[in-house]
Amino acid sequence: MKVLVVGAAGHVGSIILPSLEARHDCRYFDLRPVRGREAATVVGSVNDPDAVAHAVAPAPDAVVYLAMGVGPKPGPVPDAGDLDAAFDVNVRGAYRFLDAAMRAGARRFIYASTMNVHKDYSTMPRIDDTMPTTAWEPYGMSKRVGEFLCQAAAVEFPGSTVIALRLIRPRHEREWAGQEYRPEVRFNDCNLGPNDTRRLFLAALDCGKPGAFALTVTGDMEQRIYDHAGAHDLLGWLPENN
């Protein structure tokens, strides 16, 4: 497939791009060129209509939306409490790309969401896909609204597949040492390993079932806290601790 990866120069992009490129014809969009892929990158803001229109012409078969706009302190991007930065990327930018890509002919859209759509998710005894989201702080709320846009897009563009992946801290190989699954640890063991993350995004792109889906996807191998039934049923994916 022809796949457009938005926010490709960021952290998750650095994990998954080689695996996407091995299977798909990829192009990229970000505020800066993707290293080593400059010729295939459209440089611009997700809220620049001209840049977005250029990115979706010719139309991709699928869009992987990794842009998030904010991050933990300290870092090169605004922190998760920055309302304007969070909503500009996770809501306004997501809407622009959903609308432009679907109107151009794309029928698959993968939205990188977060378990932060649940308020205090690290202390909840059990979480599955059916639980109402509760976040109020800017980052989590912006992703909640982004997931609503995904649901609306699947209605507006019948036959499309729109998947929101609720991630917990995807890790690169260089960060994974010492992060292996430990049943005695409640929270840190739920980070996503690099290969689990790659398999996840490939499986999401392979899914052609029409509709909108929000999936809990973590490194909780025993599903003691996070129920992965939706991801397993729809994508055939479960974490393997790698």
Confidence of residue 122 (pLDDT cuts 50, 70, 90): confident
Q: How much is the pLDDT for 74? A: 43
Confidence check: pLDDT of 115 > 80: yes
HSE on the CB side for 159, CA within 13 Å? 6
Say which range, 6-15, 71-80, 175-184, 206-215, has the weakest mean pLDDT: 71-80
242 occurs within a structural domain: no
Mean pLDDT of 22-49: 96
241 occurs within a structural domain: no
Residue 20 belongs to domain with CATH number = 3.40.50.720
Domain with 55, as residue range(s), is 2-235
- Tally of domains in the chain: 1
103 occurs within a structural domain: yes
**70-78, Cβ contacts within 8 angstroms, sequence gap of 24 or more:** 70/138, 70/139
Q: State the Cα–Cα distance between residues 205 and 163, nearest whole angstrom.
A: 9
37 occurs within a structural domain: yes
Six-digit token string for 27:
């192009």
pLDDT in tens, 138-163: 999 999 999 999 999 999 999 999 99
Q: What are phi and psi of 225, to 5 degrees?
A: -115, -45
Mean pLDDT of 6-34: 97
Helix (H, G, I), strand (E, B), or coil: what is residue 62? Answer: strand
7 occurs within a structural domain: yes
240 occurs within a structural domain: no
145 occurs within a structural domain: yes
